[in-house]
Chains A and B, each alone.
Chain A
Amino acid sequence: MSQANLAVGAHAPAGVMEESPFSIPSRKLVMWLFILSDAVTFGAVLYGYGYLRNSTSNWPHPFEFSSVINALIMTVILVTSSLTMLLGIRAAKLGDKSKAIMWSFVTVAGGILFAGLHLREWFGLIHEGMTLTQNPWGSGIFGATFFCITGLHLTHVVGGVIAITVVTLGYKRGRYNEGHLEIWGLYWHFVDLVWMFVVPFVYLLNAKH
């Protein structure tokens, strides 16, 4: 970089001196890096679950077909909310603010519905006697791993619902733009992606035959 450029850069707003990395806004790159680290976190938790499952002889298979169908319904809701998020971001980029806000709130509604179904399932299992340390079907570790993995995912869903609500309201007032919506869209798709691994490993591999 020349001295002249440096001199200009010293008084110029951030971002003038060099191109944004990978031709994407820095905040989008930050979200990608967060997603990368979060993927490793979920990976570690799922590996830990696999380790305990392998090393436990009386691992339970408590999920009836109704629970599997419930997990499928939750998948449909979450994937559909990903689609509505895409529709919202697309509308925002095309300048259709009202549609962008509508689709974003539909996404939030999907997230709330997902969380509601999840909590209903949790309370059902707790009612059947499952806790973090014991359950009626086999090894007590199952409860700890189940609540840990699904709880971590549920926390992400709740966080996403709050973040998308805040950003959508900010977008409505003109505080945020479509770029902010897109970044939280990335996060929401990641939450969806994690669920694609949770369902087969935590629910389907533990289905009662």
Chain B
Amino acid sequence: MSTSQKNEGLGTYFIVYFCILAIAGLQIVVAYQNIDGSQMFLRMLSLAIIQAGLAIMFFMHMKTEKRSLFFTLIPITVFVLLMMNMIWSDSFRISGGAPFAKYLGQ
């Protein structure tokens, strides 16, 4: 066990544990708010990212590992996930019915 991991006491684990559960509860509150879908999605995503960040940094001890491990693993994963966003325009095109709907209408 590294020195920093030894110093990361039980108290930290419990604080992170309760924070993650509190955010899970907050997500349920958000789910029953009268807001539009995209706003709800953004709020859910933000809260989930905070939860995941806490789990990675404290439960998975990324905070106490060498910085180089973090910079090797995390940015490339985030980059790949962000690149998948290219699909959205196509999904909205289908729900909007264009351009195929035009052909069907003729």
Contacts and interface: CB of A to CB of B under 8 A. Distances in A.
A150 B57 CA distance: 25
Interface in A14-68: 22-24, 29, 32-33, 36, 39-40, 43-44, 47, 50-52, 54-57, 68
B24 interface: yes
Q: B interface, by DSSP: helix, strand, loop or mixed?
A: helix
Contacts of B44: 200-201, 204-205
Interface stretch (A130-138, A140-148, A189-197): A189-197
Chain B interface size band reads 35 or more
B21 interface: yes
A199 B88 contact: no
Nearest to B12: A86
A83 interface: yes
B80 A196 contact: no
Q: A interface, by DSSP: helix, strand, loop or mixed?
A: helix
A196 B20 contact: yes
A165 interface: no
7 contacts: A22-B66, A23-B66, A55-B90, A93-B5, A193-B52, A196-B24, A205-B44
Interface of B: 1, 5, 10, 13-14, 17, 20-21, 24-25, 27-28, 30-32, 37, 40-41, 44-45, 47-48, 51-52, 55-56, 59-60, 65-66, 68-69, 72-73, 76-77, 80-81, 84-85, 87-88, 90-92, 94-95
Interface of A: 22-24, 29, 32-33, 36, 39-40, 43-44, 47, 50-52, 54-57, 68, 72, 75-76, 79-80, 82-83, 86-87, 90, 93, 186, 189-190, 192-193, 196-197, 199-201, 204-205, 207, 209
